[in-house]
Amino acid sequence: MKRLVVMISGGGSNLQALIDACQTGTLDAEIVAVFSNRAGVYGLERAGQAGIPAVTFPLAPYRQVGRPRSDYDQDLAKLVAAFEPDLIVLAGWMLILSPVFLNHFPQRVINLHPALPGQFPGTDAIDRAFAAFQRGEIDHTGVMVHWVIPEVDAGDVIASTAVAINAHDSLADLQARVHATEHRLIVEATHLALASP
């Protein structure tokens, strides 16, 4: 059975989609650990309810004593490596991973981003897409899953799909539609990534 480590920073609705897919056999894999850089987030409760080991590994203690970011990435990589993942899925993980981390897992880290390839890299992508729509610059947005490289929300695309924006949509309407699309695409893309050579 393929081994997944899922990394989160918040509510974990995409983690839940992966948990459900593994439980129903839609995904031929098991989630062997969930990592969060934030304590007390709901995603950790989802892991607990599914009986999945969860690790909370915040960056702040490193910052507080002036240790470099590379130390955090190095220690995080060691902790993740201990679970022997075939694939690492960033599902709402909000810290940028440097080569210090990525070099431990060549071509084994994928990330979910709520926009189309090359669009709205970074945070608040749905809000920024909605604002661009209101300015008449775009008429749709999308979701993508890509292999992770040091550049934010870049890297070879594994799967992407467009998401419509309707004239009478509120931001909340768009957010709901994008998140629903994410929950489907993260499962499909994880399957494709596990099948890739």
| Alpha-carbon 73 to chain mean position | 17
- The DSSP result for 60-122, as a single string, is HHHHHTT--HHHHHHHHHHHHHTT--SEEEESS--SPPPHHHHTTSTT-EEEEESS-TTSS-S
Stretch that binds ligand GRF, among 27-35, 80-88, 110-118, 160-168 (CB under 6 A): 110-118
18 counts as binding ligand GRF under rule CB under 6 A: no
C-beta closer to ligand GRF: residue 12 or 85: 12
CB of 183 vs ligand GRF, minimal distance in Å:
8
Which x/- pattern, by CB under 6 A, does the window 38-67 give for ligand GRF?
Answer: -----x------------------------
Short-list 179, 59, 162, 174, CA closest to 112: 179
- Does 182 help bind ligand GRF (rule: CB under 6 A)? yes
Q: Any contact of residue 12 with ligand GRF (CB under 6 A)?
A: yes
Residues designated as active site = 113
